[in-house]
Amino acid sequence: MDFNGRKYRLTIIVPVNNEEENLPRLATELFNYLKIAVVPTQVLFVNDGSTDNSEALIASICKNNNSFNYISLRTNGGLSTALKAGFDIIETELTGYIDADLQTLPRDFNILLKHIDSNDLVMGFRQKRKDAFLKYLSSILANKFRRIFTRDGINDTGCPLKIIKTDFAKQLPLFKGMHRFLPALIQLQKGRVMQVPIEHYPRVFGKSHFNLPNRVLGTFIDCFIFLWIKKRFITYDISNSNTKPE
């Protein structure tokens, strides 16, 4: 696996949990995107403890394309764990993230890439959401809770299409629900965050792993964790040094 950045500039993390029906279409969309990507790009699937045939399908997909790689987590740890596992091993300059359900499409990474040089996190803002009513309602409520607590100015932190500078990603504090606070956590590092409108599509196969209780109640609880981290988060700027490069 080539995660050292010599060949690629962007690595796209794709967390997967029981998405066997979506994987063939997902692989096609990602393969087609690599041909039009505006920077050299590779893909990292993170199999998050799937109990269906997802791991076997991922292994087959990666076997046939050198720009596709994967890791498998022994047990299901959730989205934040899958993202952190990817952040920990990626060494390309940029890290992307997209969900396996294809409600956002890889081709829109090119829209985000237009703005990444002047920002540290660029994320999508889903236009004309194509979600079921309860999922849409829970997302709206969760976003309102989060904006009140974080004051990050982000309308759609749950959008599953993001590009982040890897140096910032590697410094993110790990906790359950971390993925909901990526913009605010980047801002804690004095990073710049931008959101741009993208298209949103209905889920074709499978079902969402989120529901009203875990999205709204989970976000409410995680907001207090974020406030604790914000109060104790360590940042510093070195004003002078006599250290010499090796």
Contacts with 21 (C-beta within 8 Å, 6 or more apart), sequence order = 205, 206
pTM > 0.85: no
For the chain, domain boundaries: 10-232
Angle (nearest 5°) at CA 193 between 13 and 41: 30
The share of the chain scoring above pLDDT 70, in percent, equals 78
pLDDT tens-digit series, residues 85-143: 999 999 999 999 999 988 899 999 999 999 999 999 999 987 776 555 556 555 666 66
Q: Is 30 or 224 the better-scoring residue by pLDDT?
A: 30
Q: What is the distance in angstroms between the CA of the first residue and the CA of the last residue of the chain?
A: 28
Q: Is 207 or 16 the better-scoring residue by pLDDT?
A: 16
Quick count: other Cβ atoms within 10 Å of Cβ 64? 9
Give residue 225's pLDDT band: very low, low, confident or very high (50, 70, 90).
confident
Contact 119, 168 (CB under 8 A): no
CA–CA separation, 131 vs 26, rounded Å? 19
Least confident segment among 21-25, 136-140, 147-151, 194-198: 136-140
Whether the per-residue pLDDT at 67 is higher than 80: the answer is yes
**In the CATH scheme, what is the code of domain 10-232?**
3.90.550.10
pLDDT tens-digit series, residues 6-23: 689 999 999 999 999 999
Contacts with 168 (C-beta within 8 Å, 6 or more apart), sequence order = 120, 121, 186, 189, 191
Look at residue 143 in the predicted model and tell me its pLDDT: 65
DSSP 124-144: EEEES--S-HHHHHHHHHHHH
Look at residue 241 in the predicted model and tell me its pLDDT: 77
Whether the per-residue pLDDT at 164 is higher than 50: the answer is yes
Whether the per-residue pLDDT at 1 is higher than 50: the answer is no
Q: Is 218 or 197 the better-scoring residue by pLDDT?
A: 197
CA–CA separation, 94 vs 40, rounded Å? 10
